[in-house]
Structure 1
Amino acid sequence: MITVKNAESHLKDKIGEDTDDVKKVWETFKDFCKEPVEGEEDKEILFQCGVYDFTGKELFHLDFVRQFTVYEEDEYSRMEHLHCEFLFKPTDEISKLEIGEWSMDYEDIDDFFNHIENLQEFKIPLNLRPIKTEIYQEEV
């Protein structure tokens, strides 16, 4: 079974080397989100995008996130985010896009995924080539 500790390596193995193919990574990410993770009570998935200067330079960030709430001995310990993040040079078309949508607002994970796939914030950057892709897990 997947654990929070090995979730990042598991997802990286599933995606393989072709991390610049946003469509492929999205499909793999969706499958990964349906896999159970030890200790996970609820699926907490975030889709977000926008222009930010987190890197010191303004770039468009397209980010698929799976959030894990970690408990130790039945006590809340922390949250961790596993990101599939794509960075793009901001263009007029994508610079206007900004959104953050959580799966918890939907009855079913597939309803959430269908909603995301119909958003312009998803559709427009989907066919662009990122300048950088990062898959990483962090404590938040």
Structure 2
Amino acid sequence: MISFKQAESYFKDRIGEDTNDIKKVWETFKNFCQEPVEGEEEKEILVQCGVYDFTGEELFHFDFVRQFTVYDEDEYSHMEQLHCEFLFNPTVELRNITIEEWSMDFVNLDDFFHHVENLQEFKIPLNLKAIKLEIYQEEI
């Protein structure tokens, strides 16, 4: 079992060098989300997308997130998110797409993944070519 501290490097190892195939990365992400993480009480998975200018440049962000609630002993400490984020130039079509879907709104991860994969807003960027993939973990 991995710890939340190992999550980023573990996931990057699972992805390998083939980061241009969004569908393959998505399948790897889904499998990673099924794996237990030390201290994790509930799977907290987010799929989100939209056009944002976080860096000063407008880009379409297609982001798969696994969130970890971290405890020190039995006390809440903080949360961390592992992002698997594809970036695209914001076309007219992508400017009209926004998603924010949390796994906790579903009975189980299979139902969540099935729901997300059937969203038209998810299918569109899944079939495009990203300009960049960023995998990073941050405290929130």
Cα separation, 2, equivalents of 1:3 and 1:20? 27
The 2-side partners of 1:117 and 1:65 are apart by 15
Distance 1:58 1:118 in 2: 27
Q: 1:100 is matched with which residue?
A: 100
For 1:79 and 1:121, the matched residues in 2 are separated by 27
Partners of 2:64 and 2:47 in 1: how far apart? 5
Q: Secondary structure of the equivalent of 1:68?
A: strand
What residue number does 2:132 align with? 132
SS at match of 1:6: helix
Deviation of 1:92 (Å): 1.1
Q: Distance in 2 between matches of 1:17 and 1:56?
A: 28
One-letter identity of the residue aligned with 1:102: W
1:46 corresponds in structure 2 to: 46
Give the secondary structure class of the aligned counterpart of 1:18: coil
2:121 paired residue number: 121
Q: Deviations over 1:26-75 (max 9, x none)?
A: 00000000000000000000000000001210000000000000001110
Report the alpha carbon displacement of residue 21 of structure 1 after superposing the two structures with TM: 1.2
Unaligned 5+ segments in structure 1 are: none
Q: Percent identity?
A: 75
Please give the secondary structure, in 1, of the residue aligned with 2:4: coil
Size of the aligned set, in residue pairs, is 140
For 1:21 and 1:76, how far apart are their aligned partners in 2? 37
Q: 1 CA distance for matches of 2:57 and 2:121?
A: 21
Distance 2:48 2:121 in 1: 9
User: How far apart in 1 are the matches of 2:22 and 2:84?
Assistant: 9
Match of 1:77 in 2: 77
| SS at structure 2 position matched to 1:5 | helix
Q: Which residue of 2 aligns with 1:26?
A: 26
What is the CA distance between 1:93 and its match in structure 2?
1.1
CA distance in 1, matches of 2:62, 2:94: 10
In structure 2, give the amino acid aligned to 1:38: E
TM-score, length basis structure 1:
0.98
> C-alpha root-mean-square deviation of aligned residues, in Å?
0.6
| Aligned counterparts of 2:21 and 2:133: Cα–Cα separation in 1 | 9
SS in 1 for 2:123: helix
